[in-house]
Structure 1
């Protein structure tokens, strides 16, 4: 039995995006039906058909399967795979990979990302777009098959995917998030790519840092191509990230064994057709930076970037490994480099363009309302700390002390 959902979000004007799914006249709107799948086996053939265009690497079936296999048991999450068709008995038009997560004291329907996917976007039938009016009907059908929950919360919704409008972003329940994503189109000769992307100032600084790095020993940029290289570079990535996050007092998602196993398995699967790619930058045989990304439909999505500290910090190894990944992506004839979520100064050096992300929140119970209020209060506290650096510094210092002395 599904539970009616109440939206708490203010409405927003819907922009006319895409084209209608059917040639039916406006007086005879298309009706939609939804079917819930709880196993990938029943939906795999359709999924493979839909993932070829209009989807990111985060919606690839092999990646999503690995997400639920590795993280589902720990997070008490089960897949809710919703197939949307034109009714009655019409063609399939959309797949939405959702999950039911059993948090402490409440149940929430989320995107099937479990903290390791940066974008939420449905998979669409090839060659078809879903406009705002149609998406209202689609979402009504989707909600009718969802199990009982206290809350629906879908974050990091981009307005488009692979130059196609993301219909999820047109729902009136969506609101703009504080976080943004960024990326840059890449074209032409890989050898001169950075000259075209970077402004003269950053390019000059980058060249100076590279000369400083070259003086330390032989510099090698390596794409992991064997299981042994995957393990060696991934071990360096984990250690570099762990050290850095401990220094700044931040929680490291990779400190969870299930998350580390997930990313390592993804890197290994990338050797035999999976979307993950793992890179390392070494000087004289010492790994000083690493990068982990996904490749799909002409796009490189950067997920993880780490660098060694200490004496290497003044050479900016993270900047160099990012530059090498850009060159590699263009040499592979990719045409877009997605720096994904988070606006950071080094990304601006590569001439990125930013875009907003949306979040959908719907409340289905009093408990869900209380959870939403608590989450809003936490977000407010974070904003307050950002505007009071002295208190933020004290909190960070306390966090570092706790992490150093924990256990």
Structure 2
């Protein structure tokens, strides 16, 4: 018997501790993204999932010989109407989804047929398996799940490469006419009062910034008809806890102030040498002619460069402002699999009837639905 082909044990552990030392070590060595960070998943399973009626489905894979952690696949079970779905731990707050393991371990796992069959058995039953927001093909999740080949999503992610000094990056990334426009807007803004830009450094400043973000975002998203996640208590609690616990390490919360009052805020996740922008808010009504969002992101880029970061990642969404900062698109991928007739009908409907997605988006303020609502201001 070739033991190398039976090297893994696969189990469901819905009480898995994402703050444990073994998960921290696995995450640090893995090809996972910021959205699988210990603090992020701890908050998502502990705060967010119970609030929206999602049930954990945490697949834990260990090396059989040593018992050490090899992979964690953070999933959820949800009911969307009559359809039972299994999907990544996302709940509309994560932009990139990935199993937590190294590429080599994933490759080895695919060679363990018994482990693969057990994993596929454990995630059942489901009507629909949904794995969107896959950033690339380095880890072919569809092979592990015996699912159909991945397909491109109808949206991209955007990131810009940073380098020092800031002035050189700015000259290279921004169109010359846009540089002049922002310089003009900056002068206009500074004539209105004392402008400051900083990164929150303590719990009190985080609390203040999150409350202001909630206040600024509500009317804007309500006017767009989408609603805003921060207006929902369970989501506000999730983002606030992640921001507070991850401050000065995993999280950066930037604020721009006018005469001591916050007029703009940007929440980002720091992972490796990347900063991922996940949420922002601006006092558009008070500064509608000053391009407040662009001026804020310009200062975010400056701070990242001064800290030695190499990538400013604007994450998912085809908003036009991202290209103005030299951001390039990267395709995103989705894996779906029907597990029943009801799942096949639901999958066909989502593919063939765009109005269903629109209806789901408009109802998202009343209950959790498949549509993803952007968490950023355009």
TM-score range, shorter chain: 0.7 to 0.9
Determine if the alignment matches structure 1 residue 249 to structure 2 residue 222.
no
- Tell me what 1:112 maps to: 89
- Tell me what 2:367 maps to: none
- Tell me what 2:141 maps to: 168
Which consecutive residues of structure 1, in runs of 5 or more, have no partner in the other structure? 1-23, 385-407
Give the deviation of 1:106 after TM superposition.
3.0
1:91-136 Cα distance to aligned partner (Å, 9 max, x none): 75432111112333232111011111111111113x7364599389
Give the deviation of 1:155 after TM superposition.
1.1
- Tell me what 1:152 maps to: 129
Instruction: Measure, in 2, the Cα distance between the counterparts of 1:151 and 1:350.
Output: 38
Instruction: Measure, in 2, the Cα distance between the counterparts of 1:337 and 1:42.
Output: 26
2:282 to 284, 302, 307: 307
- Tell me what 1:97 maps to: 74
1:293 to 254, 268, 272: 268
Structure 1 residues 198, 374: closer, same or farther in 2, change over 3 A? same
- Tell me what 2:247 maps to: 271
Instruction: Please tell me whether the aligned partners of residues 120 and 158 of structure 1 are also in contact (alpha carbons under 8 angstroms).
Output: yes
- Tell me what 1:232 maps to: 208
- Tell me what 1:333 maps to: 308
Please state whether the residue corresponding to 2:17 is helix, strand or coil: helix
Instruction: Measure, in 2, the Cα distance between the counterparts of 1:181 and 1:241.
Output: 22
Instruction: Measure, in 2, the Cα distance between the counterparts of 1:363 and 1:173.
Output: 13
Determine if the alignment matches structure 1 residue 360 to structure 2 residue 335.
yes
Structure 1 residues 355, 42: closer, same or farther in 2, change over 3 A? closer
1:258 to 229, 234, 240: 234
Determine if the alignment matches structure 1 residue 143 to structure 2 residue 120.
yes
Instruction: Measure, in 2, the Cα distance between the counterparts of 1:64 and 1:217.
Output: 41
Instruction: Measure, in 2, the Cα distance between the counterparts of 1:70 and 1:92.
Output: 24
Instruction: Measure, in 2, the Cα distance between the counterparts of 1:378 and 1:280.
Output: 41
Give the deviation of 1:192 after TM superposition.
4.2
Which consecutive residues of structure 2, in runs of 5 or more, have no partner in the other structure? 360-378
1:78 to 32, 37, 55: 55
Determine if the alignment matches structure 1 residue 34 to structure 2 residue 40.
no
- Tell me what 2:45 maps to: 68
Instruction: Please tell me whether the aligned partners of residues 27 and 37 of structure 2 are also in contact (alpha carbons under 8 angstroms).
Output: yes
Give the deviation of 1:325 after TM superposition.
1.1
Instruction: Please tell me whether the aligned partners of residues 32 and 141 of structure 1 are also in contact (alpha carbons under 8 angstroms).
Output: no
Range with bigger deviation, 80-89 or 221-230 = 80-89
Instruction: Please tell me whether the aligned partners of residues 190 and 327 of structure 1 are also in contact (alpha carbons under 8 angstroms).
Output: yes
Q: Structure 1 length as normaliser, TM-score?
A: 0.78
Give the deviation of 1:326 after TM superposition.
1.2
Instruction: Measure, in 2, the Cα distance between the counterparts of 1:291 and 1:42.
Output: 26
Instruction: Measure, in 1, the Cα distance between the counterparts of 2:277 and 2:111.
Output: 30
Q: Structure 2 length as normaliser, TM-score?
A: 0.83
Structure 1 residues 103, 64: closer, same or farther in 2, change over 3 A? same
1:13-62 Cα distance to aligned partner (Å, 9 max, x none): xxxxxxxxxxx9xxx86765522211123993432112114221111112
Instruction: Measure, in 2, the Cα distance between the counterparts of 1:136 and 1:201.
Output: 57
Give the deviation of 1:296 after TM superposition.
1.4
Show the 5 A alignment for 1:13-24: none
Instruction: Measure, in 2, the Cα distance between the counterparts of 1:289 and 1:218.
Output: 14
Determine if the alignment matches structure 1 residue 204 to structure 2 residue 160.
no
Aligned length: 352
Give the deviation of 1:322 after TM superposition.
1.0
1:294-334 Cα distance to aligned partner (Å, 9 max, x none): 11111111001111122401101111111111111222212
- Tell me what 1:10 maps to: none
